């Protein structure tokens, strides 16, 4: 039997709301799981947009206590959103790619059932990915906290002017700079916004985070890699329309005197991959390393 309901008796399915072609693969996946003895729980937003009668539903914030595994049908944005919710409950995630690049959703839709069968039976590669928690400390003393799997970004708003901020590492002043912003990235986020800003790609096995300036005024400000045990504090010195973003999802306005304190979250995200998963093979495919322009053109036209 290709699946083992004893290992993951309750499986949550999460789709990207509003995806026009979600209904068919959602029904395929739910039917596949049910036929192998798994109880299916549909994330409530997914069920509202793509009803699938006969299965239980649960709000996203409740999935951690209602499922032993979550399977995402969508792109990396959907994975990031659900990871923030289920990581504190130690629920692993599997990603089936319906997006574009899919660094986290690495199972192709066409091979969904044949890939999931062995994984549900216990044949998979597991990664534990570092997460961050950002605490916004207001000048008046009020605090708000938000988790992130990819990155925490402090940047300027729509006013067009740079922000000026001071960076402390473990309570010690490191530097002040004027820039469009600064990215604090996990290894997972090192292939996202941080990469486009010139940051390094961090192997997920490295216990590190990176600080990546965005369009700094002084070109001597370069990306810095730190231990993931470090506490990074970013204080807004000037910039009335500054904001902080966590995974591009949670947005908090910042004013002068506000601080953002970023630490490693107590719970990592658990990602499950098919047997034979190779991080650098994935990068080679997604980033088209070693491809010639001619071969890229042929692949895109295929």
* Whether residue 248 sits in one domain with residue 192: yes
* Whether residue 162 sits in one domain with residue 274: no
- Tens digits of residue pLDDT in 169-206: 999 999 999 999 999 999 999 999 999 999 999 999 99
- Tens digits of residue pLDDT in 85-123: 999 999 999 999 986 778 999 899 999 999 999 999 999
Residue 46 to residue 48: CA distance in whole angstroms: 6
Alpha-carbon distances, residue 241 vs 51, 167, 181, 254 (angstroms): 41, 18, 12, 7
Confidence of residue 300 (pLDDT cuts 50, 70, 90): low
- The answer to the question of residue 61 being in a domain is yes
Range of the domain at 216: 132-264
Domain count, the chain: 2
The answer to whether 179 and 161 have CB atoms below 8 angstroms apart is no
Report pLDDT for 3: 47
Report pLDDT for 17: 78
* Whether residue 167 sits in one domain with residue 255: yes
Residue 244 to residue 121: CA distance in whole angstroms: 41
DSSP 192: T
* Whether residue 247 sits in one domain with residue 136: yes
- Tens digits of residue pLDDT in 239-281: 878 999 999 887 999 999 999 999 999 999 999 999 999 999 9
* Whether residue 115 sits in one domain with residue 49: yes
Residue 75 to residue 72: CA distance in whole angstroms: 8
Report pLDDT for 1: 40
* Whether residue 221 sits in one domain with residue 138: yes
- The answer to the question of residue 2 being in a domain is no
Catalytic residue among 61, 68, 76, 203: 76
Report pLDDT for 4: 56
Confidence of residue 296 (pLDDT cuts 50, 70, 90): low
Sign of CA dihedral 208, 248, 80, 300: negative
Residue 210 to residue 187: CA distance in whole angstroms: 8
DSSP 203: P
* Whether residue 230 sits in one domain with residue 113: no
* Whether residue 15 sits in one domain with residue 112: yes
Report pLDDT for 301: 62
- The answer to the question of residue 235 being in a domain is yes
* Whether residue 287 sits in one domain with residue 248: no
CATH code for the domain in which residue 290 is found? 3.40.50.10330
* Whether residue 260 sits in one domain with residue 147: yes
Report pLDDT for 169: 98
Give me the sheet containing 181-185, strands edge to edge: 224-227, 208-214, 181-185, 151-155, 243-246, 250-253
Round the average pLDDT of the chain to a whole number and report it: 92
Is 76 a known active-site residue?
A: yes
* Whether residue 293 sits in one domain with residue 236: no
Report pLDDT for 302: 53
- The answer to the question of residue 4 being in a domain is no
- Tens digits of residue pLDDT in 7-27: 899 999 999 877 888 999 999
- The answer to the question of residue 3 being in a domain is no
Query: Using a CB cutoff of 8 Å and minimum separation of 24, what contacts does 110-114 make?
Result: 112/25, 112/28, 112/29, 112/32, 113/28, 113/32
């Amino acid at each position: 039997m290709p699946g083992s309901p004893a290992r993951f008796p309750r499986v949550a399915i999460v789709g990207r709301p509003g995806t026009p072609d979600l209904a068919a693969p959602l029904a395929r996946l739910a039917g596949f799981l049910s036929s192998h003895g798994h109880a299916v729980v549909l994330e409530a937003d997914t069920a509202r947009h793509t009803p699938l009668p006969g299965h239980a539903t649960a709000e996203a914030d409740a999935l951690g206590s209602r499922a032993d595994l979550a399977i995402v049908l969508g792109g990396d944005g959907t994975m990031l959103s659900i990871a923030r919710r289920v990581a504190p409950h130690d629920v692993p995630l599997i990603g089936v790619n319906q997006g574009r690049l899919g660094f986290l959703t690495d199972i192709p839709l066409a091979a969904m059932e044949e890939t999931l069968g062995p994984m549900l039976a216990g044949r998979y590669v597991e990664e534990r990915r570092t997460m961050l928690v950002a605490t916004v400390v207001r000048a008046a003393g009020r605090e708000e906290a938000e988790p992130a799997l990819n990155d925490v970004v402090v940047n300027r708003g729509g006013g067009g002017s740079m922000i000026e901020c001071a960076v402390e590492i473990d309570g010690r002043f490191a530097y002040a700079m004027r820039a469009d912003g600064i990215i604090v990235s996990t290894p997972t986020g090192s292939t996202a916004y941080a990469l486009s800003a010139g940051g390094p790609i961090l192997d997920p096995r490295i216990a590190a985070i990176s600080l990546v300036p965005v369009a700094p005024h002084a070109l001597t400000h370069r990306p810095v890699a730190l231990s993931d045990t470090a506490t990074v504090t970013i204080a807004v010195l000037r910039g009335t329309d500054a904001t902080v973003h966590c995974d591009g999802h949670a947005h908090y306005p910042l004013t002068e005197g506000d601080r953002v304190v970023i630490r490693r979250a107590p719970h990592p995200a658990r990602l499950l991959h098919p047997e034979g998963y190779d991080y650098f093979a994935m990068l080679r495919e997604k980033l088209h390393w070693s491809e010639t322009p001619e071969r890229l053109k042929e692949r895109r036209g295929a």
